[in-house]
Amino acid sequence: MPELSPNPSPPTPTALMQLATGFWSFKSYAGAIEIGLFDLLADRRELTVEEVSAGLGIAHRPADLLLAGCASLGLLDKSGPHYRNSALAEEFLVKGRPYYFGGFVRYLDSREYPAWQHIVEALRTNRPTTWTPGAQESLFDTEDPETLQLFWDCMYSISTLTARTLPEVYDFTRHTRLLDVGGGAGAIPIELCRRFGHLSATVFDLPHVCDLARTKITEAQLNSRIDAMAGDFNRDPALPGGHDAIILSMILHDWDEESGRTLLRKARAALPADGAVLICELLLNDERTGPPDAALMGMNMLVETEGGKNYSAAEYRDWLLDAGFARVETLPVEAVGANGVVIGHVS
């Protein structure tokens, strides 16, 4: 007689509790950025609860709770009675650092977090909740300068971190001139041109975004190698020529499939025989069951866009081949804004 297996342990709601209270972590983290905690502790400064209370102008109790919360999240270290920024917070959460990530957090907190309160409305209506179609042309159309600044700050930080990872998997020495379509403030060209002295680049984006890019390019002292060209990649009949690599970083997930396919056809037409297009995204697996960062970014596209969603590498491969690219490869990367780069080679 076969041995009976012991009864499996019954499930517990621990994982559900962690999911349900995820906003506790986010709001503690966002609140610490907004109130200036990590700036107060910059340069590995060590302060007690009392000193943080005085420095932030808040009472002892909230200072004590905030410090404990941030330490539990790995954002602070503690030695005796003194707290200091963790290495992670020191590099990414202090204003003015080269790869400051706080702009992204502040954007989420001020714009997307309130919109997610209406996720059921978005599910039922298939309409975004961060902006109003009909009254606005797109999610990028806003007259609020603070919202615009937060958005482009957050995109710059994410794009810079993506650009740092790309040379680990892709050989940019084969190219001489890059076109960053929807390139925002120019983070990817700036980072790559700093890394590769032979490269030059063009940022192609809306006119007011090009103004931001020119400012960043000037600050980086790369005016002689990077320019900004105004245009609309959805409306313009063609992309600018004269480039042997086109980068689409966190662009295609903003649009529906037909818009994405059209843009890839434009990319193919603009590239020479030795050219390539690089699609940097949080890619879903082929079964569309994960990973969570890609799947939940797709949910975020529901509240942010009219037709956007996150796609799989297999879907992009089909689009690229249909657009006329001869060969497609997918390379894994580890970045906050991308877990892979899908490359379409002209030949």
Which pair of tokens denotes residue 231?
Answer: 């245009």
Which pair of tokens denotes residue 274?
Answer: 């030795």
Helix, strand, coil % over all residues of the chain, rounded to 5: 50, 15, 35
Per-residue b or e along 260-295, where b marks 16 or more CB atoms closer than 10 Å to that residue's CB: bbbbbebbbebbeeebbbbbbbbbbeeeeeeeebbb
**Alpha carbons 75 and 67: distance in angstroms, whole number:** 9
Which residues are bridge partners to 278 per DSSP? 247, 343
Q: What angle do CA 187, 188, 189 make, to 5 degrees?
A: 100
Q: List, by residue number, the catalytic residues.
A: 253
Contacts with 117 (C-beta within 8 Å, 6 or more apart), sequence order: none
DSSP strand pairing (177-181 vs 200-205): parallel
3-state secondary structure of 66: helix
User: Phi/psi at 156 (nearest 5 deg)?
Assistant: -65, -45
Contact 267, 239 (CB under 8 A): yes
**Alpha carbons 302 and 103: distance in angstroms, whole number:** 22
3-state secondary structure of 121: helix
Q: What angle do CA 99, 156, 255 make, to 5 degrees?
A: 140
Contacts with 213 (C-beta within 8 Å, 6 or more apart), sequence order: 183, 184, 185, 186, 203, 205, 228
Backbone CA torsion sign across 248, 250, 251, 253: positive
